[in-house]
């Protein structure tokens, strides 16, 4: 187990990157604290797998260093890093039995036979494959194969870090839940540093202590699920996390007031002079429909009842605004205004969050 | 669900039946016809029963040719399959050199059999051939027209030169279809190079390898042109393989009856061995299933 430090790290798949746009992974400085569970969250092609492969040594970065416990391993091969990694699609050794598959990483490191036997038994129990230990891995379902891959990843106790590259993509939904819970309990039990790549926010938010959101080769925010929800540092975090995501509206801000297409909104906090493209972000959870005289004038387009609450899709001057109405709350039939809870409003300049004066 | 029964559907296979009749059944029946009859010319035939078959079964000449044939096929398979895999493993995976190697590897496959024979016939000559002259100058006694070993080595090296590419290309195609994740996982698991080959690459190319073995076996078992051009079956009968012997018998001596019986037995042997291959291959597939 180790602390992993990324120092000035960047990667481009091109031999001679010209500008920032050529980098799949833009310059990055970051510490992964020993023993924490991280989720790397982002849409496809945002550089999360690139980052993971650099950490595991399958890819060598174009620039910067990577340190394990302050020891430079930038050019060390994968084997020296003592990392476990589970891939998106199951990798099993077809001709081996399930038992040999699980024992393979241990045997390659010359582990004691008795230890291997016990450890394999333990892992088999954890992934629920004790009965299948003696059969060949060939011909198993994708589910079962991926469980073997996960098991092979977890079988070594002394790894520096466990990396998961969207490991549950091929798994059945109910099994997903179960395996995720097992991974989490495994994390509590052994305290490995875990990095879990996913594009599924639920997976990220339930698995990790800290979620790292990536966008376009850049880490845009790192924080607890609550931080990501309440104070998205970037508009991408706002609309990528949450269902539906944050409403982002063009605005002009002066002092503690924002003006959206001629309508004035109180912000509750003051802001300094802003430059660039100014936007106001508010999560659907912090909005409410009314039929008074205050708030943004809107037209309600449709209402979706998703069980625990209703999602109202409203139109404000050509921009869609989503409102979440709690179950049981009534929506006025002639609702034509939306009001925002000032506590849930964030102001963005050029997509990045601006801290209010005197606040966080 | 009830299947519709309509016996008229059999007519649908009629075109295939006609084609196969003309391309295979009728010519084959001509051979069968010869194998059970004797002639003294003048297009007059007499019923001979299974005499020719009995004669061929007792013919030392046939058994010798069969022995040489099996030895030849076994040797070239033992060389070409491992060598082909080795070449495929060492070919570049992508980029300019990958295409370059592919083209280079395909070249021998594009050369007609008798040209291959001619190339090696000249290449190995002691007076004007580069190979023969060099070996001779080095003091090695090499003469494929007189020396048994020289003749065999020449014929085998020629076949290896001509056909290893096929095995290599098939194995290469199999290797290319292995996703990168397997190699990455192997690195993570600290697998040795040998383990990567044994547990990842070999299992993934078993299918194409079986096809390569089957193709090379059938082709080598029927080999005619190349050794005929190079050694003409000699020295003595030492490189007279089955089909060379067959042609000698049928066209050289015009022993149509024995040659026809010989053909049929030759055909049955290939059919039998191919059937065994087929069974083994389908069983491998079944093993995949469970």
Q: Smallest Cβ distance to A139: which of B179, B204, B290?
A: B290
Given CB atoms, is A56 within the 8 Å cutoff of chain B?
A: yes
Burial of A192 (0-12, 13-18, 19+ CB in 10 A): buried
Token pair 């930038």 is found at: A74
Q: Smallest Cβ distance to B179: which of A89, A94, A109?
A: A89
B152 to each of A166, B203, B229, B240, how far by Cα in Å? 57, 33, 14, 11
CA A143 to chain centre: 23
Residue of A nearest to B194 (CA): A108
Residue of A nearest to B178 (CA): A91
Given CB atoms, is A78 within the 8 Å cutoff of chain B?
A: yes
List all residues of chain B from 193 to 232 with a beta carbon under 8 Å from chain A. Answer: 195, 199-200, 203-204
pLDDT digits (tens, 9 = 90+) for B95-110: 899 999 999 999 999 9
Residue of B nearest to A140 (CA): B290
Domain B67-252+270-289 sits in CATH at 1.10.3720.10
Mean pLDDT of A292-313: 84
Contacts of B289 in chain A (CB under 8 A): 139
Contacts of B184 in chain A (CB under 8 A): 53, 56, 58, 78, 85, 87, 91
Encoded tokens for A163: 């990396």
pLDDT band for position B75 (cuts 50, 70, 90): very high
**Inter-chain CB proximity B191 and A149 less than 8 Å:** no
**Inter-chain CB proximity A108 and B190 less than 8 Å:** yes
Among A133, A131, A137, A138, which residue's Cα sits nearest to residue A99?
A133
CA dist., res. B14 & res. B8, Å (int): 11
Encoded tokens for A124: 């088999």
Contacts of B204 in chain A (CB under 8 A): 94
pLDDT digits (tens, 9 = 90+) for A314-329: 888 888 888 888 877 7
Residue of A nearest to B199 (CA): A93
In Å, how far is B201's CA from the nearest CA of chain A? 10
Residue % of chain A over a pLDDT of 70: 99
In Å, how far is A78's CA from the nearest CA of chain B? 6
Encoded tokens for A100: 């040999």
Q: Smallest Cβ distance to A58: which of B187, B200, B287?
A: B187
Q: Smallest Cβ distance to B189: which of A77, A89, A105?
A: A105
**Residues 6 or more apart in contact with residue B30 via CB below 8 angstroms:** none
Among B91, B76, B70, B69, which residue's Cα sits nearest to residue B213?
B76
pLDDT digits (tens, 9 = 90+) for A91-105: 888 888 888 888 998
Mean pLDDT of A215-238: 87
Token pair 């020289």 is found at: B150
Q: Smallest Cβ distance to B199: which of A58, A83, A96?
A: A96
Contacts of B177 in chain A (CB under 8 A): none
pLDDT digits (tens, 9 = 90+) for B162-206: 999 999 999 999 999 898 889 888 888 888 899 899 888 998 898
The reported pTM is 0.75
Encoded tokens for A350: 């050029």
B141 phi and psi angles, rounded to 5 deg: -80, 95
Q: How many CB pairs under 8 A join A and B?
A: 58
The pLDDT value recorded for residue B290 is 43
Torsion angle, alpha carbons of B114, B119, B122, B125, to 10 = -100
**Within chain A, which residue ranges are assigned CATH 3.40.50.300?**
4-240
pLDDT digits (tens, 9 = 90+) for A14-56: 887 777 777 888 888 888 888 888 888 888 778 888 888 888 8
Look up the CATH superfamily of A247-354: Nucleic acid-binding proteins (2.40.50.140)
Contacts of B191 in chain A (CB under 8 A): 104, 108
CA dist., res. A81 & res. A60, Å (int): 13
Name the class of domain A4-240: alpha beta
Residues B33 and B256: beta-carbon distance below 8 Å = no
Is residue B150 scored above 70 in pLDDT?
yes
Residues A224 and A34: beta-carbon distance below 8 Å = no
Is residue B289 scored above 50 in pLDDT?
no
Burial of B279 (0-12, 13-18, 19+ CB in 10 A): exposed
Is residue B231 scored above 60 in pLDDT?
yes
DSSP 8-state secondary structure symbol assigned to residue B127: T
The pLDDT value recorded for residue B285 is 65
Pairing of strands A247-250, A218-223: unpaired
Mean pLDDT, chain B, rounded, equals: 87
pLDDT digits (tens, 9 = 90+) for A140-197: 888 888 888 888 888 888 888 888 888 888 778 887 888 788 788 878 877 788 888 8
ipTM of predicted complex: 0.74
**Inter-chain CB proximity A87 and B190 less than 8 Å:** no
Given CB atoms, is B284 within the 8 Å cutoff of chain A?
A: no
**Inter-chain CB proximity B203 and A89 less than 8 Å:** no
Given CB atoms, is B191 within the 8 Å cutoff of chain A?
A: yes
In Å, how far is A60's CA from the nearest CA of chain B? 13
A289 to each of A246, A329, A336, B36, how far by Cα in Å? 16, 10, 7, 100
Is residue B288 scored above 60 in pLDDT?
no
Beta carbons within 10 angstroms of residue A308's beta carbon: 8
Encoded tokens for B221: 């078992």
In Å, how far is B186's CA from the nearest CA of chain A? 9
Q: Smallest Cβ distance to A89: which of B181, B189, B287?
A: B181
List all residues of chain A from 101 to 130 with a beta carbon under 8 Å from chain B. Answer: 104-105, 108-109
**Inter-chain CB proximity A95 and B179 less than 8 Å:** no
**Inter-chain CB proximity A138 and B287 less than 8 Å:** yes
**Inter-chain CB proximity A139 and B288 less than 8 Å:** yes
In Å, how far is B165's CA from the nearest CA of chain A? 27
Residues B216 and B167: beta-carbon distance below 8 Å = yes
Domain residue spans of chain B:
67-252+270-289
């Amino acid at each position: 187990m180790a602390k992993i430090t990324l120092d000035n790290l960047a990667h481009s798949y091109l031999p001679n990157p010209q500008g920032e746009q050529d980098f799949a992974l833009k310059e990055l400085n970051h510490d992964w604290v020993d023993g924490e569970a991280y989720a790397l969250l982002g849409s496809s092609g945002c550089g999360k797998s690139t980052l993971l492969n650099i950490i595991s040594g399958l890819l060598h970065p174009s620039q910067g260093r990577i340190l394990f416990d302050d020891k430079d391993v930038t050019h060390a091969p994968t084997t020296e890093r003592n990392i476990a990694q589970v891939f998106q699609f199951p990798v099993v050794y077809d001709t081996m039995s399930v038992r040999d598959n699980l024992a393979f990483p241990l045997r390659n490191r010359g582990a004691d036979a008795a230890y291997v036997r016990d450890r394999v038994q333990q892992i088999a129990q954890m992934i629920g494959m004790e009965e299948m230990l003696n059969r060949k891995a060939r011909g198993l379902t994708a589910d079962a194969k991926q469980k073997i891959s996960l098991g092979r990843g977890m079988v070594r106790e002394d790894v520096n870090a466990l990396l998961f590259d969207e490991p549950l993509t091929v798994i059945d939904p109910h099994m997903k839940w179960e395996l995720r819970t097992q991974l989490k309990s495994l994390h509590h039990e052994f305290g490995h540093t875990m990095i879990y790549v996913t594009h599924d926010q639920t997976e990220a938010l339930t698995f990790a202590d800290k979620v790292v959101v990536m966008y376009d080769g850049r880490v845009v925010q790192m924080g607890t699920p609550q931080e990501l929800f309440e104070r998205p540092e970037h508009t991408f975090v706002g609309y990528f996390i949450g269902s539906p995501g944050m409403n982002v509206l063009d605005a002009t801000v002066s002092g503690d007031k924002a003006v959206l297409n001629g309508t004035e909104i109180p912000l509750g906090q003051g802001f300094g002079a802003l430059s660039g493209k100014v936007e106001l972000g508010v999560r659907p959870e912090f909005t409410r429909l009314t039929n008074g005289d205050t708030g943004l004038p809107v037209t309600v387009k449709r209402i979706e009842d998703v069980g625990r609450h209703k999602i109202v899709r409203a139109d404000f001057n050509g921009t869609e605004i989503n409102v979440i109405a709690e179950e049981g709350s009534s929506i006025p039939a002639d609702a034509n205004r939306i009001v925002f809870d000032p506590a849930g409003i964030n102001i963005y300049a050029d997509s990045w969050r601006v801290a209010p004066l005197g606040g966080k | 669900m009830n299947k519709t029964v309509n016996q008229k559907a059999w007519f649908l296979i009629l075109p295939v039946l006609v084609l196969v009749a003309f391309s295979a059944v009728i010519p084959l029946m001509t051979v069968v016809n010869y194998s059970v009859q004797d002639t003294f010319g003048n297009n007059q035939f007499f019923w001979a029963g299974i005499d020719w078959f009995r004669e061929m079964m007792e013919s030392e000449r046939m058994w010798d040719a069969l022995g040489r044939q099996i030895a030849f096929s076994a040797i070239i398979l033992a060389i070409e399959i491992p060598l082909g895999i080795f070449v495929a493993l060492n070919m570049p995976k992508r980029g300019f050199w990958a295409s370059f190697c592919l083209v280079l590897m395909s070249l021998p496959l594009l050369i007609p059999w008798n040209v291959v024979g001619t190339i090696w016939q000249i290449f190995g000559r002691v007076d004007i051939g580069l190979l023969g002259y060099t070996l001779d100058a080095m003091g090695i006694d090499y003469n494929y027209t007189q020396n048994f070993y020289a003749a065999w080595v020449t014929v085998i090296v020629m076949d290896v030169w001509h056909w290893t590419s096929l095995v290599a290309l098939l194995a290469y195609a199999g290797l290319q279809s292995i996703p990168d994740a397997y190699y990455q996982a192997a690195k993570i698991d600290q697998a040795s190079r040998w383990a990567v080959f044994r547990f990842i690459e070999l299992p993934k190319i078993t299918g194409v390898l079986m096809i390569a073995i089957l193709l090379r076996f059938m082709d080598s078992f029927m080999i005619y042109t190349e050794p005929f051009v190079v050694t003409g079956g000699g020295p003595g009968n030492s490189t007279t393989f089955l089909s060379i012997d067959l042609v000698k018998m049928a066209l050289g001596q015009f022993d149509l009856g024995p040659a026809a019986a010989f053909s049929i037995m030759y055909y049955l042997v290939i059919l039998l061995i191919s059937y065994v291959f087929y069974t083994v291959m389908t069983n491998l597939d079944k093993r995949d299933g469970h």
